Structure 1
Amino acid sequence: MSDTAVTAPDDATMEHHEAFRRKRDHSVRAPQGALALVVTAWVSEPTTIEGVPGTWSLSPSGDGLQVTADASDEIVVDGQVVDGAAIVYGHDSMTPSSVRFDDHTTAFAVGPDFNGRFALQVWDSDAAESRGFQRIDVYPYDPAWVKHGTFEPVDGGVAFEYAKSRGGSLRQGVSPGRIRFEHEGAQVELVALPDGDSLQIVFADATTGDETYDVGRFLFVKPRHDGTVDLDFNRAIVPPCALSEQFNCPLPPAGNRLAFPIRAGEQRPIFAKP
């Protein structure tokens, strides 16, 4: 598959892209957007958590966390003030719980991890302002970086290894297939992690660590039933760990580290200097 001739984007394309940029900016600034995550506390035994009241432990049934507090602590779980003990069900459960501490601080439980632990993630809607967030720098829209490729499913998937931004041992990933596109006459092959009905491509390129965020970027794509897939690198985004150190993001696997520069999409977040 060869690259098609590059033409200037029409008004509808630019309006669609600008709408994507507005939605993206709103999402990172949201009360539980990436900028707002201020605490991720993994719980294995009864403990207190910095910045929030209550004593936190694993729930007796192992499906979330239990918080013990007095009414004076003003912890609200699923709309009820906690006076004694309450269960905080995991964010991915059938009945996820919400937690509110005050008018700008909320939380939910995530997990379990490989050791059966759950974590309390605490979100502060004032964090973006207090940290001096200004914007995410973005390359100008470039239609040349809308690549038309193919997705080839593979029985049993394609196994690969990847690291995480906060260290630790290598993780094992399985891509449901191979994504291919052509760049300057050469075939490029990528693997991806499943993400709902989309695929999450974690990649690095020749701009990484210089013009763009140090550990790489994300691109989400949806292959069609006929195996075709559009890779619009103008929608490449910085991972959430670029916006809060509380996230533990996947790093690009070896095969997704590209030798050429992709000057499209997000570059890096900009914060006011202290």
Structure 2
Amino acid sequence: MPGEQGKASTEYVSEESALAEHETWRRERWEEVSGPRGLAATTVLAKITESEQTIPGVPGHWSPPTAGSVRFTATSEDGVSVAGEPVDGTVELASRTSIEFHDGRFGIVGVYDGMGALTVWDPHAPTLTRLKEIATYPFDPTWIIDGEYVPAPADRVADVTRLTNPPSKDTIPAPGDIIVELNGERHRLVAVEYATGELLLVVFTDSTSGSATPGIGRWLILPKPEGSTVRLDFNRAIVPNHVFSDLFPCPLPPAGNHLPLRVEAGERGPVHADE
């Protein structure tokens, strides 16, 4: 029940200020999902690992990076441009190079750890055009709670299943646990690295999972704590990227990351035009 969740945050913020901050966060979150480079507009997430590789739905041929650049070959008939210039032949594309397609799609090339990658967004993708909103629970300041951060050994990893087709197994660095008290009971959640280790990701399920919220759980994304206290704002629990585009290989919750109560805070799920 509201007001009974756990130990409130020791950082004093008025309810009015907290609500205003939350509304700003919601607007930014909506842009992250529905903007031109939003999650719902993503139609290609490809790794470039082989010479003269083809990518389904994308013209041309791609080769892994050499000297930090991906090699791309296309003809003028393919209708691909880089920096406004049509590609007719072979070009070297450095990381963060933008690329445009004749049908209005656009993308960006990446180079990560010596491997090439391509992300493409489509402003006409049904996953985007049908999306009306993200349903959420009403903001409730009693779901802003202080937890305890317990660092783990430096080499600890969490075994997770990723939502690929078919599902795949993976290990993710898991630098610490978060202990949170809810309704008088202590719960321990494994936190994994997120965004190249700069943030922590807590993937959890609760008693709303599979009914009011996705069965694959929800996420809390947190800055790495500098001390033993971590602020958890369950109003910012988000649904995984996978619910907006099944291209995203999101992790399922690590074993044990279940809260045996209804976390009626944060996002509930996408709402589409035909629903």
TM bracket, shorter-chain basis: 0.7 to 0.9
- Counterpart residue identity of residue 7, structure 2: D
SS of the residue aligned with 1:163?
A: strand
**Distance apart, 1:193 and its partner CA:** 1.8
Aligned to 1:170: 169
Equivalent AA in structure 2 for residue 176 of structure 1: P
How big is the shift at 1:143?
1.6
CA positional deviation for 1:62: 7.8
Offset of residue 255 of structure 1: 1.9
Distance 1:210 1:46 in 2: 45
Matched, 1:66 2:71: yes
What is the alpha-carbon distance in structure 1 between the residues aligned to residue 131 and residue 200 of structure 2?
A: 29
Number of the residue aligned with 1:92: none
Q: Write the mapping of 1:206-221 to structure 2, written as runs, cut at 5 A.
A: 206-221=207-222
Distance 1:164 1:252, change over 3 A: same
Does residue 142 of structure 2 align to residue 138 of structure 1? no
Q: Which residue of 2 aligns with 1:107?
A: 107
Alpha-carbon distance in structure 1 between the residues aligned to 2:7 and 2:247: 39
1:97 aligns with 2:101: no
Q: Name the CA distance, whole Å, in 2 between partners of 1:81 and 1:233.
A: 47
Q: Does 1:26 align with 2:31?
A: yes
SS at match of 1:140: coil
Match in the other structure for 1:49: 55
Taking structure 1 as reference, are residues 172 and 49 closer, same or farther at Cα in structure 2, changes over 3 Å only? closer
Whole-angstrom CA distance in 2 between matches of 1:159 and 1:51: 35
The answer (yes or no) to whether the contact 2:97–2:110 under 8 Å persists in 1 is no
Distance 1:151 1:157, change over 3 A: farther
Retained in 2: the 8 A contact 1:160–1:253? yes
**Is 1:192 aligned to residue 196 of structure 2?**
no
Q: Deviations over 1:58-94 (max 9, x none)?
A: 34x28563211123434223554322111234xxxxx
Match for 2:104: what amino acid? H
**Percent of residue pairs identical:** 35
The residue matched to 1:86 in structure 2 has which SS?
strand
2:21 corresponds in structure 1 to 16
Cα distance in 1 between the residues matched to 2:150 and 2:74: 53
Counterpart contact for 1:64–1:109, Cα < 8 Å: no
Going from structure 1 to structure 2, the CA distance change for 1:182 and 1:96 (only over 3 Å counts) comes to same
Any stretches of 5+ residues in structure 2 without a counterpart?
A: 1-5
User: Residues 212-253 of structure 1: CA distance to partner in whole angstroms, max 9, x if unpaired?
Assistant: 012111111124423211000100111111001111111111
**3-state DSSP of counterpart to 1:191:** strand
- Return the alpha-carbon distance in structure 1 between the equivalents of residues 261 and 155 of structure 2: 27
The offset of 1:199, in angstroms, is 0.8
Separation in structure 2 between the aligned mates of residue 73 and residue 27 of structure 1, nearest angstrom: 30
2:82 corresponds to which residue? 77
The amino acid across from 1:242 in the alignment is V
Shift in Å at residue 270 of structure 1?
A: 1.2
Contact kept? 2:176, 2:192, Cα under 8 Å: no
The answer as to 2:250 corresponding to 1:256 is no
> Gapped runs of 5+ residues in structure 1?
90-94
Residue 29 of structure 2 aligns to a residue whose secondary structure is: helix
* Residues in 1 aligned to 2:156 and 2:184: alpha-carbon distance in whole angstroms: 25
TM-fit CA distance, 1:265: 0.4
1:12 and 1:189 mapped to 2: Cα distance?
30
Q: CA RMSD in A?
A: 2.8
Calculate the TM-score normalised by the size of structure 1. Answer: 0.84
Q: For 2:193, give the aligned amino acid.
A: P
